[in-house]
Amino acid sequence: MRRKFRKYRRFKRFKKRKSLLKSRFFWIFILILASAILVFYLFFLSEIFRIKEIDISAPEDISKEEIQVLLQKELETSFFIFFRKNTFFLVNSQKIEDRILKEYPEIKEVILKKKFPKSLTLEVKKRIAVGIWCFEEDNCFLIDDNGIIFRGSTSKDLVKIFSRGGEVKNLGEEIIPKEKMNQLLGIHDELEENLGIDVEKFILRGSDNLDVKTIEGWEIYFDLAGDINLILTKLSLLLEKEISSEDRENLQYIDLRFSKVYYK
């Protein structure tokens, strides 16, 4: 009786195993699993989608070679330890763009595009200097129209803006709000192009007090919180009706910070 029971159990196990191999769902599962492994291999491990071509477009004064090295280094980093990011589907464009911007403050914009199946194009746009921001006489940096400092400079070709009491920032950081920077540039252009006043430097005291020192030696005081267009109109009328070119030789300052204009 015991032997018959054992034979029955053995037969039952075999029957179960046999029925599993005949199961349609079992083979569907195997097919799905094999397909998933194949797709995973093709997309992430095979050479088909491995990045082989990188085209970099950049201005002459920005090193393509250095950017290429940085880009390759980023692509060679591991993903989940075993997989490298140098395949088409694992390239993180945003992360690479942010890395390049951090490493090169003089770069204003980076556009990385993926071209199927294994190419990258990288377009680099540099910052254009519109002035020189100085913390001290010998501590000056190029600044763009967004108010971001990006490179040390000793140039004398651009207007110098001296900051009195301003916070020291790192390259690539905003030192002055874009709106305020555009305000300073507007004042500079109006003085030089329309009023014929050559500017030596700007001195920014706090956020709203601006002293403009002219090449002739006299100064102009502005309140940047006021209506700049109205203030410049007052200055234009004053120079036209009350202060001649000869009078400027003895002029010390024009104060435009109040409703009434003062000069000496």
What's the CA gap between 198 and 220, in Å, rounded? 12
Range from 15-29, 130-144, 180-194 carrying the lowest mean pLDDT: 15-29
* pLDDT at 5 (0 to 100): 44
β-strands 107-115, 53-57: how paired? unpaired
Going by pLDDT thresholds of 50, 70 and 90, the confidence category of residue 180 is very high
What's the CA gap between 137 and 203, in Å, rounded? 12
* pLDDT at 87 (0 to 100): 81
Better pLDDT: 134 or 8: 134
53-126 and 131-263 agree in CATH topology: no
Average pLDDT of 203-214?
A: 92
* pLDDT at 246 (0 to 100): 84
pLDDT tens across 62-101, in order? 899 999 999 888 888 776 656 666 888 888 899 999 999 9
DSSP string, 2-45: HHHHHHHHHHHHHHHHHHHHT-HHHHHHHHHHHHHHHHHIIIII
| Assigned fold of 53-126 | Ubiquitin-like (UB roll) (3.10.20)
* pLDDT at 245 (0 to 100): 82
pLDDT tens across 112-122, in order? 999 988 899 99
3-state percent helix, strand, coil for the chain, nearest multiple of 5: 40, 30, 35
Better pLDDT: 49 or 146: 146
What's the CA gap between 121 and 53, in Å, rounded? 8
Average pLDDT of 127-136?
A: 94
pTM: 0.77
What's the CA gap between 134 and 95, in Å, rounded? 32
* pLDDT at 118 (0 to 100): 86
57: its two tokens: 């477009």
What's the CA gap between 98 and 198, in Å, rounded? 40
Asked if the model's pLDDT at residue 249 lies above 80, the reply is yes
Asked if the model's pLDDT at residue 111 lies above 90, the reply is yes
Which residues fall within 8 angstroms of residue 92, CB to CB, at 6 or more apart?
A: 85
Number of other CB atoms surrounding residue 41 within 10 Å: 11
145 in helix, strand or coil?
coil
Domain boundaries, the chain: 53-126, 131-263
What is the CATH superfamily name and number for domain 131-263? Cell division protein FtsQ/DivIB (3.40.50.11690)
* pLDDT at 121 (0 to 100): 94
* pLDDT at 9 (0 to 100): 52
Going by pLDDT thresholds of 50, 70 and 90, the confidence category of residue 11 is very low
Counting beta carbons within 10 angstroms of the beta carbon of residue 102, is it exposed (0 to 12), middle (13 to 18) or buried (19 or more)?
exposed
* pLDDT at 18 (0 to 100): 54
Q: How far is CA 129 from CA 114, 158, 173, 186, in A?
A: 31, 8, 14, 15
Asked if the model's pLDDT at residue 57 lies above 60, the reply is yes
199 in Cβ contact with 189 (< 8 Å): no
Average pLDDT taken over every residue of the chain:
85
| Residue in the structure block whose two tokens are 């519109």 | 130
